[in-house]
Structure 1
């Protein structure tokens, strides 16, 4: 089946306007049974299947893969792959890079019913879940420079949302529990709701169930951040969840990435290459694709240090991130994830982040105001510096010219 660009656009429109433009409001709708609809945090126009993208994506170029994988690519010392649940729109296994990466038998389809015939966890009509899974565990391909962060981990596919935006916080909660029971060591959730939930809601209890069973829960922060104002999203804002914002090529907050005190780290979320249904890769953007980048790092840590607790895995990722300040920043949390540092500066587990004295080792912090599309903060600084340099040059030229005029006039006055 080939899903054309127009068909994909129509399908994602049914999910939410936020899928089409990350700056758009992502207001969830009420769902039957008092539950709340969840929003997928990606944009997503693409033709399925797609042609392979031959080059190495920038998000992988920033990582020394040989250093990252010197101890593991997602298997523990006994050769067992770390199991990562992707609770999403399904994970296609026809794509060759995912054929051997998905545990189909452990997967489940939570949307099957009288009006929605069983499709199975490997049917992905949107492509969203397939992209998420690829960033985590896509196998190497001779046709492309793209590969997953943890290419020997295994995906547990849980189909909880679809092209109609059927997923709710209730089905998401069920998906989390099923992921835990299926043996997931890491759970990736690339969707959210901004609607406040009652204390001890199904979703909060499910997250607690996962944490109590020593599972790392990684969730996208959301794409409604163009105004730069903090806004909690769920499940990302629940205590114990590693909330991931999106960063750009300059290690700064992507303009659409949601801000808030709950942000743990940021990760690449613009121009993200990943697998699509049927084969090949496409490019997308959104916090949906930043979260699995971090989930892949968590899988590598769990493979290398199977005895580390889930909160220690989270603390390790936050501790080794490229920081913009020595404290926590509401735009990028503790900084932009550094996969190689997370896997090499790991002599002992840490229970929480410690802040060193002295200057931070990364770029200047993003401004709290919304960043304009098409121009990052660094580009703005370069532009202003260019204006200043040009103005200085013009002033020097004017002063020099005036001096020459005065000199020539004085010469003419000589007897």
Structure 2
């Protein structure tokens, strides 16, 4: 794994603090595009559910959980007496996490703790990380993990576009407070406004061996939304457009802090898309490390029921991948944080380019089962020898029971029994006919 040892900024455009702040929040947390979802997802969208919304039809399946093979990886860990993320603390840096049945939440020292939660994103994200089994469905990736509610915003600030009441000072203070706790993973579902203070706060977390999972950014959907000038339509006059209508040169690496930075413990993540071109939903970003499926994921709503995330989003990928990191820590408790990250990166599959720099998928799609079970031996600094390279398209086998050494003998006995019984039956039927003929 070749990643810079220091937090460094790739080349690119610099933006004003306010523009990046509003743009980052809007790209990830504001209205998402409408996608046609399969009938199996015919349940309420998480975005449409408020605190007082009457419960609707529960989801019929968790397709994202099936794609991630959660049942297989959980069974593998439990068969070996290992936890499902137990002992791992994951901080969700968002607009608050509502404690719901099946979701362990620990509040942090925030001035917003105790105030009513109006934003659904933090609760939905926490459910993706550590939600338990509800309505017969496994919700979270790592149900044994503990979620820290790192609340940095309170509510909608009002006005056209519904910008969130974001406070940069409160964010710096929260990240600083997290650095003094035992947190293992910090999930940051939206780009932050780049500033020297925020850079120092994120660097402090990384220096303390905290893994940071940062969203690479989502596409604005209307002209009035911030960053629409750059990412709603193609940039520059006379520039050739891609077949999708988006500029082939789009790259949000300079606009997504901290996802646009390189560090061994910082994972820049995004989402795959089942419905249409992923560029309709997420921003290309050459800093992306890996992606996760999110469209159709089941999680918790503000009214304590289950809901469905019916459109892709890099914000949701931060929760899914944070959960995978927690599972890997359970499987390899003696690993350093860099070794844990190496296992997740080295087992990702499906990327068009097996090296960092692919602007939509990075190294590929996260594979929880392979990340937990692969026979990798990364060095303490996270480096993986070339001799351990795996076929990136190889799927990990489904867990098998111990071999049955007597299976062949029993199988042969069954066949001999069937043949003998058949011969006896024929004899019983034919003998009276032969006897009458002789008589």
Contact 1:102 1:155 in 2 (8 A): yes
Deviations 1:67-87 (A, max 9, x none): 3122269x9779952111111
Checking the alignment, whether the CA contact within 8 Å between 1:326 and 1:359 is kept in structure 2 is: no
Q: CA–CA distance in 2 between the matches of 1:204 and 1:52?
A: 44
Establish whether residue 311 from structure 1 lines up as the match of residue 338 from structure 2: yes
Matched, 1:45 2:51: no
Which of residues 212, 215, 220 is equivalent to 1:217?
A: 212
Contact 1:146 1:274 in 2 (8 A): no
Q: What's the CA shift for 1:298?
A: 0.7
Q: Deviations over 1:201-256 (max 9, x none)?
A: 11111111111111111011110266351112011112222011110238984532
Residue 92 of structure 1 deviates from its aligned partner by: 0.6
1:281-302 Cα distance to aligned partner (Å, 9 max, x none): 2223321111110000011112
Q: Deviations over 1:29-59 (max 9, x none)?
A: 729xxx9455162446312354363422211
Give the match for residue 273 of structure 1: 298
Q: Structure 1 CA distance, aligned partners of 2:341 and 2:202?
A: 15
Q: Residue by residue, what CA displacement relative to the aligned partner does 1:297-334 show, whole Å, maximum 9, x if unpaired? A: 01111222233222222222111111323333221110
Report the alpha carbon displacement of residue 96 of structure 1 after superposing the two structures with TM: 1.5
- 1:346–1:253: structure 2 CA closer, same or farther, 3 Å change rule? farther
**C-alpha separation between the residues in 1 aligned to 2:69 and 2:367?**
10
Counterparts of 1:294-373 in structure 2, within 5 Å, are 294-324=321-351, 325-328=353-356, 329-349=358-378, 351-352=382-383, 361=393
Q: How does 1:178-193 map to 2 (within 5 A)?
A: 178-193=177-192
Partner of 2:251: 230
**Residues 1:156 and 2:162 aligned together:** no
Counterpart of 2:314 in structure 1 is 287
Gaps of 5+ in 1: 1-26, 113-117, 364-415
For residues 348 and 354 of structure 1, do their structure 2 counterparts lie closer, same or farther at Cα, with a shift above 3 Å needed? Answer: closer
Does 2:201 correspond to 1:206?
Answer: yes
Counterpart of 1:390 in structure 2 is: none
Q: For residues 144-168 of structure 1, give each alpha carbon's deviation from its aligned partner in whole angstroms, at most 9, with x where no partner exists.
A: 4241000011101011123221223
Q: Cα–Cα, structure 1 residues 79 and 282, in superposed 2: closer, same or farther, change >3 Å?
A: closer
Question: SS of 1:291's equivalent?
Answer: helix
Change over 3 Å in CA distance of 1:66–1:317 after alignment to 2: same
Q: 1:97 to 1:331 in 2, by over 3 A?
A: same
CA distance in structure 1 between the aligned counterparts of 2:214 and 2:128, rounded to whole angstroms: 14
- The question of 1:102 aligning with 2:102 is answered no
Q: 1:80-99 to 2 correspondence within 5 Å?
A: 81-93=87-99, 95-98=100-103
Residue 57 of structure 1 corresponds to 62
Q: Counterpart of 1:395?
A: none
Give the SS at the match of 1:103: strand
Contact 2:185/2:211 (CA < 8 Å) preserved in 1? yes
| Structure 1: distance between partners of 2:216 and 2:105 | 25
In structure 1, the partner of 2:117 is 124
The answer (yes or no) to whether the contact 2:96–2:122 under 8 Å persists in 1 is yes
Q: Write the distance in 2 (CA, Å) between the matches of 1:358 and 1:176.
A: 36
Give the 3 Å change call, closer, same or farther, for CA 307–209 of structure 1 in structure 2: farther
Normalising by structure 1, we get a TM-score of 0.67
Offset of 1:259 from its aligned partner? 1.4
Q: CA RMSD in A?
A: 3.3
User: Number of aligned pairs?
Assistant: 315
How far, CA to CA, are the matches of 2:47 and 2:390 in structure 1?
A: 44
Residue segments in structure 2 that go unaligned for 5+ positions in a row: 1-14, 33-45, 157-163, 220-230, 233-245, 396-439
SS in 1 for 2:280: coil
Confirm or deny: 8 A CA contact 2:345 2:363 kept in the other structure.
Answer: yes
Query: Is the contact made by 2:105 and 2:148 (CA closer than 8 Å) also made in structure 1?
Result: yes
